[in-house]
Amino acid sequence: HLPSLRVQVLIRTIRTARTQAEEREMIQKECAAIRSSFREEDNTYRCRNVAKLLYMHMLGYPAHFGQLECLKLIASQKFTDKRIGYLGAMLLLDERQDVHLLMTNCIKNDLNHSTQYVQGLSLCTLGCMGSSEMCRDLAGEVEKLLKTSNSYLRKKAALCAVHVIRKVPELMEMFLPATKNLLSEKNHGVLHTSVVLLTEMCERSPDMLSHFRKLVPQLVRILKNLIMSGYSPEHDVSGISDPFLQVRILRLLRILGKGDDDSSEAMNDILAQVATNTETSKNVGNAILYETVLTIMDIKSESGLRVLAINILGRFLLNNDKNIRYVALTSLLKTVQTDHNAVQRHRSTIVDCLKDLDVSIKRRAMELSFALVNGNNIRGMMKELLYFLDSCDPDFKADCASGIFLAAEKYAPSKRWHIDTVMRVLTTAGSYVRDDSVPNLIQLITNSVEMHAYTVQRLYKALLDDISQQPLVQVASWCIGEYGDLLVSGQCEEEEPIQVSEDEVLDVLEGLLVSNLSTPVTRAYSLTAIMKLSTRFSSVNRIKKVVSIYGSSIDVELQQRAVEYNALFKKYDHMRPALLERMPIMEKTATNGPTDIAQTNGETDSTILDTKHLPSITHPARRCNYHICFCLAGIPPMTAYNKNGLKIEFTFERSNPSPNIAVITIHATNSTEADMTEFVFQAAVPKTFQLQLLSPSSNVVPALNQGSVTQVIRVLNPQKQQLRMRIKLTYTHKGSPVQDLAEVNNFPPQSWQ
Amino acid sequence: MQFMLLFSRQGKLRLQKWYVPLSDKEKKKITRELVQTVLARKPKMCSFLEWRDLKIVYKRYASLYFCCAIEDQDNELITLEIIHRYVELLDKYFGSVCELDIIFNFEKAYFILDEFLLGGEAQETSKKNVLKAIEQADLLQEVSTQSVTSEHLCKCIATPQ
Give CA–CA dist A741/A641, Å, rounded: 10
The predicted pLDDT at position A733 comes to: 92
Q: Measured between beta carbons, which residues in chain B are less than 8 angstroms from residue A188?
A: 124-126
> Region A559-584: what's the mean pLDDT?
84
Query: Mean pLDDT across the stretch A674-684?
Result: 92
State residue A589's pLDDT score: 54
User: In this complex, do A360 and B14 lie within 8 Å of one another by their Cβ atoms?
Assistant: no
Residues from chain A contacting residue B157 (CB–CB below 8 Å): 115
**A320 part of contact set with chain B, CB < 8 Å:** no
The pLDDT, as a whole number, for residue A593 is 32
What is the rounded distance in angstroms from the CA atom of residue A521 to the CA atom of residue A473?
A: 10
pTM score, whole prediction: 0.73
Q: Is A242 on the interface with B (CB under 8 A)?
A: yes
Asked if the C-beta of A284 comes within 8 angstroms of chain B's C-beta atoms, the answer is yes
* Residue in A54, A83, A195 to test binding to B, most B beta-carbons within 10 Å: A83
How many whole angstroms separate alpha carbon A403 and alpha carbon A179?
50
Q: Looking at the predicted structure, is the pLDDT value of residue A300 above 80?
A: yes
Band (A617; pLDDT cuts 50, 70, 90):
very low
A-B Cβ pairs (cutoff 8 Å, strict)? 184
CB contact, 8 Å: A234 with chain B?
Answer: yes
Phi, psi of B38 (to 5 degrees): -70, -40
User: What distance separates the 2 farthest-apart alpha carbons in chain B?
Assistant: 57
Residues whose CB falls within 8 Å of the CB of residue B119, separated by 6 or more in sequence, listed in order:
A127, A128, A159, A160, A162, A163, B19
User: Is pLDDT above 80 for A600?
Assistant: no
Q: Could you please report the per-residue DSSP string of A30-60?
A: HHHHHHHHHHTT-HHHHHHHHHHHHHHHHTT
**What is the DSSP code (8-state) at residue A235?**
T
Torsion sign (Cα): A641, A642, A647, A652: positive
* Residues from chain B contacting residue A193 (CB–CB below 8 Å): 118, 121-123
> With an 8 Å Cβ cutoff, are B47 and A323 in contact?
yes
Residue scoring higher pLDDT (A567 or A591): A567
pLDDT single digits (tens) A192-206: 999 999 999 999 999
**What is the per-residue pLDDT for A606?**
28
Q: Kindly indicate the confidence band of residue B145, based on its pLDDT and cuts at 50, 70 and 90.
A: low
User: In sequence order, what are the residues at sequence separation of 6 or more whose Cβ sits closer than 8 angstroms to the Cβ of residue A633?
Assistant: A652, A653, A654
Nearest CA in chain A to B101: A8
Higher pLDDT, B150 or B98: B98
Average pLDDT (B107-114) is 98
Average pLDDT over residues A267-271: 96
The pLDDT score that the predictor gives to residue A155 is 97
pLDDT at residue A603 tops 70:
no
Instruction: Tell me the nearest-neighbour CA distance from B97 into chain A, angstroms.
Output: 17
Residue A548 · residue A562 · CB < 8 Å: yes
Q: Does A213 touch chain B (CB under 8 A)?
A: no
From chain A, the residues in CB contact with B123 under 8 A are: 155-156, 159, 189, 192-193
Helices A79-92 and A67-75, interaxial angle, to 10°?
A: 150
Binding-face residues of A in 134-193 toward B, CB within 8 A: 149-153, 155-156, 159-160, 162-163, 188-189, 192-193
pLDDT of residue A36: 93
| Residue with more model confidence, A482 or A603 | A482
pLDDT, average across residues A135-144: 96
- pLDDT, one tens digit per residue, over A303-315 is 899 999 999 999 9
Q: Which of B23, B42, B136 sits opposite A96 (nearest CB)?
A: B23
pLDDT tens readout for residues A473-483: 999 999 999 99
B99/B120 Cα distance (integer angstroms): 23
Q: Is A66 on the interface with B (CB under 8 A)?
A: no
Residue B161, pLDDT > 50, answer no
Angle at A587 between CA A585 and CA A591, to 5 degrees: 130
The pLDDT confidence band at residue A2, using thresholds 50, 70 and 90, is low
| Per-residue confidence (pLDDT) for residue A121, from 0 to 100 | 97
> pLDDT averaged over chain A?
87
Out of A414-428, A556-570, A643-657, pick the least confident. Answer: A643-657
The shortest C-alpha distance from B39 to chain A (Å) reads 15
**B69 CA: distance to closest CA in chain A (Å):** 15
pLDDT of residue A734 exceeding 70, the answer is: yes
What does the pLDDT read at residue A594? 34
pLDDT at A588: 59
End-to-end Cα distance, chain A: 98
Q: Which residues of B touch A117 (CB under 8 A)?
A: 133, 136-137, 140, 158
Measured between CA atoms, how close is A410 to chain B, in angstroms? 30
Q: State the number of CA atoms in the 13 A half-sphere of A242 facing the CB.
A: 30
Report pLDDT for A109: 96
B77 with A287: Cβ contact below 8 A: yes
If contacts are CB pairs under 8 Å, which of residues 334-363 in chain A contact chain B? Answer: 357-361
User: How many Å lie between the alpha carbon of A148 and the closest alpha carbon of chain B?
Assistant: 11
**By the CB < 8 Å criterion, does A482 face chain B?**
no
pLDDT at B129 over 70: yes
Cα–Cα distances in angstroms (integers) from residue A231 to residues A186, A204, A241, A242, B127, in the given order: 16, 36, 7, 11, 15
Q: How far out from the chain centre does Cα A185 lie?
A: 44
DSSP A296-331: HHHTT--HHHHHHHHHHHHHHHT-S-HHHHHHHHHH
Query: Mutating which of B126, B134, B136 best tests the A interface, going by the most A Cβ atoms within 10 A?
Result: B126
Asked if the model's pLDDT at residue A449 lies above 90, the reply is: no
Residue B75: its chain A contacts at CB < 8 A? 247, 251, 287, 290-291
Mean pLDDT value across residues A264-289: 95
CA distance A650 to A641: 9
pLDDT tens, B56-84?
999 999 999 999 999 999 999 999 999 99
Test mutation, B48, B86, B121, chain A, max A CBs within 10 A: B121
| Contact at CB, A358 and B121, closer than 8 angstroms | no
Residue range A208-218: average pLDDT?
A: 96
* Model pLDDT, residue A494: 81
Q: In this complex, is the C-beta atom of A567 within 8 Å of any C-beta atom belonging to chain B?
A: no
Q: Does position A615 have pLDDT exceeding 60, yes or no?
A: no
Nearest neighbour of A11 by CB, restricted to B13, B103, B151 = B103
Please write the tens of the pLDDT for every residue from A107-137: 999 999 999 999 999 999 999 999 999 999 9
